[in-house]
Copies of this chain bind each other. A is one copy, B any other.
């Protein structure tokens, strides 16, 4: 059944003309709707082939380099799995995050790691104004290397989380929503509440809420962004969300009232993040190595967080949602009250009810990353996937 479903997905994929070949995947808002739809279809096809025990090992050799400038277990594993699914070998650059390299160092390193490389996955989400910039520098460097005969091929840069966007997360979330609600089309008119939530830690990146509002507004959803005053996002992402909502026939609303955001919501995504201004200040302190200043900032920020300790996804709040049973989403790990902390983003009983759903939500990520790899590195992805279905090879013995 999974193979048959895969074939149906491939048929739909064949009607699209994605333009990602030999390009990067950096920000969803740089991508056409067609590219995003192709990405979902490829990811879903790969999932079905995986379940149907059909090998998707289309590369005979080649490296998938990763560079995690921030610690990561989940994304590291997702990237390694995606590479493995396609026959690539993942290889971690393990660059110290303490140096923000630029200019010749970036150009040179990007070429040195790319001689037989298909993709470069980068996570760089600590410094506001830097992560996306760094990815663009790497992209330009390998573009030049390919043009100037340094590289036999042009590796694709894949954004595994930057200061602006977290496309592998948001596209996995979108795939989750598509499955939960039956289709992309069914998401039209659904209300999703992307809300800030209290956490006893500080400095969580802004990329998840930014990724969610910029992506979900494109599919006709009614997106509400809720956060306490002072916890704003990067202005560019707010503008994009307004524009996308207008274009798609959805809506984008901002509020500082969590309960209001939950009212009648079909989906809630309560998650902590640091205020934009704090992240800016933190970036300057990190750049100047001002540890005393960082300690002071953390203290102030945690104090401020405490003013909003009631921003928690409780059973009471859930009762305000559509039919009292909105879909709860989280990128994991969540700060769960009474489980991983004293008071956190979500009440224990709420999380418990949706725990397995959040695992399933996360389960799409390796396939989304593999789909990004396939679309950026293969000229005719639909034909290639079709050939995998027609002459299936087992990915594992029975």
Contact = CB atoms under 8 A, between A and B. Distances in A.
Contacts of A80: 63, 89, 91
A395 B61 contact: yes
Interface stretch (A126-134, A163-171, A180-188, A354-362): A354-362
Interface stretch (A32-40, A236-244, A304-312, A377-385): A377-385
A94 B68 CA distance: 14
A59 B104 contact: no
Given A150-B359, A363-B150, A105 B61 contact: no
A343 to B, nearest CB: 16
Contacts of A204: none
Contacts of A148: 356, 359
A321 interface: no
A107 B334 CA distance: 13
B397 A336 contact: no
A73 interface: yes
A355 B396 CA distance: 39
Contact of A63 (B73, B81, B380): B81
Determine how many copies of this chain the complex contains: 3
A78 B114 CA distance: 10
Interface size class of chain A, counting residues whose CB lies under 8 Å from the partner chain: 35 or more
Contact of A84 (B58, B62, B153, B355): B62
Contacts of A339: 103-104
A333 interface: yes
Contact of A60 (B57, B77, B81, B153): B57
A87 interface: yes
A108 interface: yes
Contacts of A62: 84, 395-396
A100 interface: no
A149 interface: yes
Contacts of A73: 93-95, 109, 112-113
A19 interface: no
Interface string A358-398: 01101101100000000001111000100000000111111
Interface string A112-132: 110111100000000000000
26 contacts: A50-B152, A56-B61, A57-B61, A58-B396, A60-B395, A61-B84, A61-B87, A61-B395, A61-B396, A63-B84, A74-B112, A77-B113, A80-B89, A81-B117, A85-B116, A89-B89, A112-B359, A112-B362, A115-B363, A118-B396, A145-B359, A149-B360, A150-B360, A378-B397, A379-B398, A380-B398
The 3 nearest A-B residue pairs measured at CB: A150-B359, A55-B60, A81-B116
Interface of A: 50-51, 55-63, 65, 73-74, 77-78, 80-81, 84-85, 87, 89, 91, 93-95, 103-105, 107-109, 111-113, 115-118, 144-145, 148-153, 332-333, 336, 339-340, 355-356, 359-360, 362-363, 365-366, 377-380, 384, 393-398
Given A59-B397, A77-B93, A77-B113, 14 more contacts: A50-B116, A50-B152, A55-B60, A57-B60, A60-B395, A61-B87, A62-B395, A63-B84, A73-B94, A73-B112, A74-B112, A108-B332, A115-B366, A380-B398
